[in-house]
Homo-oligomer: A and B are copies of this chain.
Amino acid sequence: MTELDVAALQRRLADFATARDWQRYHTPKNLVAALSVEASELMEIFQWLTPEESARVMEEAETAHRVTDEVADVLAYLLQLCEVLGIDPLAALDAKIDRNERRFPRHMP
C-alpha cells in the first residue's frame, strides 16, 4: 500500500474527526491527555507480566490484537497532536536521534 504514510494517516484522522464534529474537543491539552491514557491502556496489558512473558505477548492471537489496537490508538493521538501543533513527528525524531548520538557516546570495542 504505497500511500500508507504519516501524512495520509493524518488526513484520514482529520477527516474522521471533522465528520463527527470532534475537532472542538481536540485541544492540544486534551490530545496529550488522551495520548497518555492510551499509553497506559497499553501498559495495562503488560503490568503483571514477567519480562519473559512480556516478550511472548504476540504469540496469543487475542492479546496480539489488543496490543496492536492500543499501539494504533497511541499513534492516532500522537499524529493528531502533531497536526494541531504543526510538528513533523518523523523530523522531530530524526533530530532527536542526532542529539542523542552526541549526548551518549557509543561503547568502544
Contacts and interface: CB of A to CB of B under 8 A. Distances in A.
Q: Which of A19, A75, A100 is the most central at the interface, judged by chain B CB atoms within 10 Å of its CB? A: A75
A29 to B, nearest CB: 4
Chain A interface helix/strand/loop/mixed: helix
A16 B72 contact: no
A16 B74 contact: no
The quantity of this chain's copies bound in the complex is: 4
B75 A71 contact: no
Interface of A: 1, 4-6, 9, 12-13, 16, 19-21, 25, 27-30, 32-37, 39-51, 54-55, 57-58, 67-69, 71-76, 78-79, 81-82, 84-87, 89-97, 100-101, 104, 106-107
